[in-house]
Amino acid sequence: MQYLTKLPGFIRFSCLFLLTSCLLFPSSSMANDKVKPSNESMVAHSVDEVNTEPSGNGRINVFLDAGWWLDEDYIRQQIPVVNYVRDREVSDVHIIVTRHGAGSAGTNYAISFIGSRRFRGIDHDMEYWAASTNTGDDTRRGYTNTLKIGLIQYIATTSMVDKILIEFDYDEAAVIRDNGLEPERDPWNGWVFEIYGGGNFSKEETRSNSSSRFGFHADRITTEWKIRARPYFNFNKRTFKTDSGDIISQTHRHGFNTYVVKSLNNHWSVGVFGSGLSSTFSNMKFNAELVPALEYSYFPYREATRRSITIAYRMGYSYHDYIEKTIFDKESEWLWSQSLEAGARFQQPWGNVRAGITGSHYFHDFSYNRAEIFANVNIRVFQGFSLNIQGNYNIINDLISIPAGDLTLEQILLAQSQRSTSFSVSGTIGLSYTFGSDFSAAYNPRL
């Protein structure tokens, strides 16, 4: 040890760290030595050639593929009879969970079970409907129970089948009714309503901010119809104290959105969209627009949770009444416009892709146009390695409501009014590589 004191500081620290690690964790290193295979047995295999049977504890490997909103800790607690792995390449069952909002009515969770290795080809889909009246706990209990049901056919082939207990919770009267003896009546005919409101404020010695919002939703969603009506109101006030006096910024954005969409068949749908707007930022005293639309889906709509390619055409008529005279010397005007949109969305075991392109213009002058291209790609290139790319590019030539004259420095800094621009671009790129244990960390809420 006397020689250790003569070494440079960072080397002494490294040596002491290694020595401490060996003293604190001798059992781990010894255990690893016991299971270390001989050189003769260390033969390379592809992922599909190894671990094709359940692990030594009889459990299948499951890879959960979902967004941040899925409570994976709760799922691990409630379904402890499987191994949760961190990469799909080592899984026996790949579970993809997507959610799709249905306005204020609720959220639909689409769950796809994709078998791999010895379960290859054993796939199925399930759904869970979470009504808007659900609490967060109600929702997570619901989709977790759906996961339990979907995993049964895989677990049933392993020794863990002895851990499964199936119970049925049902109302005998409801069973009789659902068999046609007493049809169920919905007094609301599928309509769901929501009234919301709220506000916030902050204050300090030299500045203060307050805002409020309130509105109303009315939604009706069935397999044939999709209807919404939504008025909304937003206020914002900011005050800044300066040596020359207070600077006060007051803005508002009020409006309404409504649409009626009818399903024609499994590939075509038609709809009518309406909107209104009053906005200080957009120099709009009042704007109203009515837009019929037609959409074609290359894949059947029932496959939309996993793959979708759509093309939509819209043509509408709108009225614009401006707060200030515009740079085109207009105080108000009626305008025809049209747009064409193409979009694709894929949620697959190898990752997900969402991309689209949109073009629009006004009929009175084709130079008043806009084009947008966007893409969001998240791909698992190989085990543990993921690539994420997002990009958005807009060509903007249709800002017809820009007020005439120069904006003041106050208006620019406080974003009180929209400024003219001919384009916008944004993007991100990210790489990640995860390695180590194939199994997900255990749920541990301590500290």
pLDDT digits (tens, 9 = 90+) for 303-333: 887 789 999 999 999 999 999 999 889 999 9
Architecture of domain 264-433: Beta Barrel (2.40)
In terms of Cα–Cα distance, which of 187, 236, 184 is closest to 209? 236
C-alpha–C-alpha distance, residues 344 and 325, integer Å:
40
Regarding the domain delimited by 51-163, which CATH topology (the fold level of the hierarchy) does it fall under?
Rossmann fold (3.40.50)
Strand order across the 385-396 sheet: 191-203, 207-221, 225-242, 245-263, 268-279, 284-297, 307-322, 332-348, 351-362, 369-382, 385-396, 423-433
Query: Which neighbouring-strand residues pair with 113?
Result: 95, 124
C-alpha–C-alpha distance, residues 137 and 391, integer Å:
35
Tokens found for residue 127? 């759904």
C-alpha–C-alpha distance, residues 282 and 418, integer Å:
6
Report the DSSP pairing between strands 93-101 and 106-115: antiparallel
Report the DSSP pairing between strands 369-382 and 351-362: antiparallel
Residue 18: the pLDDT is 52
Q: Determine which of 23-37, 104-118, 245-259, 275-289 has the lowest per-residue pLDDT on average.
A: 23-37
Residue with tokens 């193409």: 342
In terms of Cα–Cα distance, which of 256, 213, 270, 217 is closest to 237? 213
Contact 320, 332 (CB under 8 A): yes
Nearby residues of 322 by Cβ (< 8 Å), 6 or more positions away: 283, 284, 285, 330, 331, 332, 401, 403
Contact 240, 250 (CB under 8 A): no
Indicate where the chain has its CATH 3.40.50 domain(s). Answer: 51-163
Residue 35: the pLDDT is 35
Indicate where the chain has its CATH 2.40.160 domain(s). Answer: 264-433
C-alpha–C-alpha distance, residues 272 and 4, integer Å:
80
pTM of the model: 0.66
Percent of the chain with pLDDT over 90: 36
Under the banding of pLDDT at 50, 70 and 90, the label for residue 412 is low
Residue 362: the pLDDT is 94
What's the mean pLDDT when you consider all of the chain? Answer: 81
| Local structure of 323: helix, strand or coil | coil
C-alpha–C-alpha distance, residues 195 and 77, integer Å:
36
Residue 292: the pLDDT is 96
Helix axes 9-24, 26-35, angle to 10 degrees: 70
C-alpha–C-alpha distance, residues 75 and 77, integer Å:
5
